[in-house]
Every structure is written in C-alpha cells, then in structure tokens.
Amino acid sequence: MIEPRTLKGFRDFLPNEARKRQYVINTLKSVLELYGFEPLETPALEYEEILNGKYGEEGDKLMYRFEDNGKRRVALRYDQTVPLSRVVAQYQNELPFPFKRYQIQPVWRAENTQKGRFREFLQCDADSVGVNSSLADAEIIRVVIASLENLGFKKFTINVNDRANFTGIDPLAILTIDKLKKIGKDGVLKELQEKGLPTNSLDQILGKNVTPRLEEFTQILNDQRVSFDSTLARGLDYYTGLIFEVEVDGYTAGSVCGGGRYDNLIGMFAGRQVPAVGFAFGFDRLMEAMEQLNLFPTDLQTAKVLVTIFNTDLRDKSLELSSRLRSNKINTELYLDENAKMEKQLKYANQKGIPYVIIIGPEEAAKNTVQLKNMGSREQKELPLEEVIKLLK
C-alpha cells in the first residue's frame, strides 16, 4: 500500500473549499470582463532562461527548475508578469495594443512553509500593456476597487506611491524602508545601520511628495480610498512609476493586492520599450480575508436537492423526477444506491449541506406527488410534482 500524502506547501481543495475558490475566481473574472480585460493562459513550464534573474536573488533561489527528458533547462511559472512579458514580445505583431489581459493560474515557489506560505498558489493578475497613460493607471485601480466591492469588502485603502520618488536612493535601502510598517522607524534605522546603508535615506523618503504624475492619476481616479504613502516601495525591482498595495480593514495579515507600472520589463524580451501597468491579487490572502469577514455567500452548495430512492421498484420514478428537475435547470443529485436505507440517504444530504431532499414512496408514486423535506427547518410536506419544481426553481 502507498501512503496517501501531499507535498509540504501543496494543497488539495476539497469541494467546500474549491467552491469558494470558484466563487472568487468567477467574481473577479466578471469584473475584469466588465472592464474589457481578456483571458490569457501561458504554460506551467518555461525555458529557465525566460524566468532567470527576473525576480532578484531570492526568486532565483525559490524557483522550481529541472532538466526535462530532452535535456532542456526548464522552470515552473513563478509569477504571471514575466510570462506576460514574453507573450507580448513573442506575438507583438499580431496582438492589438493596448493589450488588456487577465490571467488566473497557479504559480510555484519553494518558500519556507513555516511562515504559513504555500509552494503552489493561485495568482490573479490583470495588466494593460502598450499605453503609459495615467488613464491606464487609474483604470487598474478602478478595477481593483470594483473587484473588492463585488466580493463584498466594505472598507479598504489603496496605498500609492511613485517609483520616481526613489530616484537617487540606494536600492538596498529601499528594500529596508519597505518594511517600515512591519518593523517601525527604529527597526528600519537599525537595519540600515547594520547593512551599512545611508541612514538619512529614511528621512529623505519620508519627506517625499505626490509627484505630478500621481497628481494626474489621482484626479482621473477621483476616489477617497486612495492614500499617498511615500514609504511604500514594493519588493520587486522592475517597477518604474505608480506602485500600490491594498489594505482591507479588519484583516491584518498583509496586503491582499499589489501592483504598479513597469515600463522596461517587456523590453527585455521585445527589444523595444513597451509600457505596462497591472496588479496581482494574492488569492490566498483574499480568501482568508473573506473568511474572516464572513463574505462568502451561504448558498454555494452544488446540488439544491437530493432525490432519494425508496426501493428498486420505485427507482425509475426517482430517475424520472431527477431528469425533470434538471431540465428545469435545478441542480439535482440522485442518490446512486437503490439499496441504501432512507436514513443513510438523509444523513448524506445533511453531511453535504444539500438544502432539500425529495422522497417518493409507494403512496406518493400512486398520487403523482412527492415528499419535500427542508433540511434546514426539518419541515416536510407532500406536494404535486409541478409545485416542487416551482418551489425549487
């Protein structure tokens, strides 16, 4: 016998969890499509050289990479921005620009799982490629706001900054200053000293103001939930303009979404500068925040009703009714074992959270009625077929 187990940092999503994930994915998709973003899919495996060196030293270390059967060096998708950049370069003559795409696929990083991080996780990205307008920047934030609103979040803040504010400041110092909220001013100063970095860079950054470009963006967006934060840096070094992170009120484990403008990354593949701006939702944080704030609908069950089977003689009655319910677009589960006791069938519905159960015994079959049991209230009533269909629809 082989021990059934999963790798550390990798997860199975059983139906209850998978349904919640689908709900969030579908909500995000519908918002993105409302704004004209189009789907894109890229392969899980890329040539290693496509991903190498794009995510800093840390990224190179955490990447899953190996040699395939054909002796090619390959790596698993580490994010969706680099694959997007490759795609834009590869198909630049056939893609219409602006190219507005979204992408919702898993990425893989060999993270230290003790931090509660996962090694396989979903990312939800949207980017506008080929325009450097503030209009594009504002739309990206507008989509983030609409996404959060549609998921049910009531209060959140979009912290923004402009990478131009870091001109002339040591890039390593920026990485330290980015931790200001986590480790405080003293912590930052200490770390700057320890690393031999200029300690005055913190004051320099704290003194920065809204740039003209941010001014224009803010005016177009016109939303009170946007807040300027001169210390916001974002880890990745490919950003060139607007950068932002989203904090949700009542959820303290970190930002649920981040992004910004990166006008030089695509050029590494395309051989010409192609501006871009976009965001990525951290899917697991989003799910966690929704769970904590109780934002999931309570009616995410797959089946609305379980049709039980009274006995073999009455099996066809239950089969027939199931068909009729389904042709009325009612999600219907038929219990698949005609020899199971009714008690077992009811227990099954209960365990799965199916809200209604139908029983057709000999009396009901003779009268063309059914017993409809509401599993929440435990109420049961006899109804003609037509009534049941109307009620469940």
Give, as one character, the DSSP assignment of residue 312: G
- Tokens of residue 315, six digits: 């099996």
The residue from 72, 195, 367, 381 that contacts a copy of itself (CB under 8 A) is 72
CB of 97 to a copy of itself, least distance (A): 8
Contact yes or no for 287/24 (Cβ under 8 A): yes
Per-residue binder mask for a copy of itself (CB under 8 A), 106-125, x = binder: x-x-x---------x-----
By CB atoms closer than 10 A (0-12, 13-18, 19+), residue 85 is: buried
Binding of a copy of itself at residue 40 (CB under 8 A)?
Answer: yes
Binding of a copy of itself at residue 148 (CB under 8 A)?
Answer: no
Alpha carbon distances (Å) from 88 to 52, 157, 201, 226, 265: 18, 31, 36, 30, 11
Q: Which residues contact 374 (CB under 8 A, 6 or more apart)?
A: 355, 356, 380
The residue from 164, 189, 210, 319 that contacts a copy of itself (CB under 8 A) is 319
Binding of a copy of itself at residue 100 (CB under 8 A)?
Answer: yes
Binding of a copy of itself at residue 225 (CB under 8 A)?
Answer: no
Binding of a copy of itself at residue 198 (CB under 8 A)?
Answer: no
- Cα–Cα distance measured from residue 380 to residue 362, given in angstroms and rounded to the nearest whole number: 17
End-to-end CA distance of the chain: 46
With CB under 8 A as the contact rule, which of the stretches 264-272, 287-295, 368-376, 380-388 interacts with a copy of itself? 264-272
CB of 328 to a copy of itself, least distance (A): 10
Binding of a copy of itself at residue 68 (CB under 8 A)?
Answer: yes
- Sites for a copy of itself among residues 273-312 (CB under 8 A): 302-303, 306, 309
The residue from 24, 28, 126, 136 that contacts a copy of itself (CB under 8 A) is 136
Binding of a copy of itself at residue 363 (CB under 8 A)?
Answer: no
- Tokens of residue 86, six digits: 């490759």
- Cα–Cα distance measured from residue 34 to residue 185, given in angstroms and rounded to the nearest whole number: 42
The residue from 181, 218, 256, 270 that contacts a copy of itself (CB under 8 A) is 270
The residue from 58, 116, 117, 135 that contacts a copy of itself (CB under 8 A) is 135
- Cα–Cα distance measured from residue 31 to residue 52, given in angstroms and rounded to the nearest whole number: 33
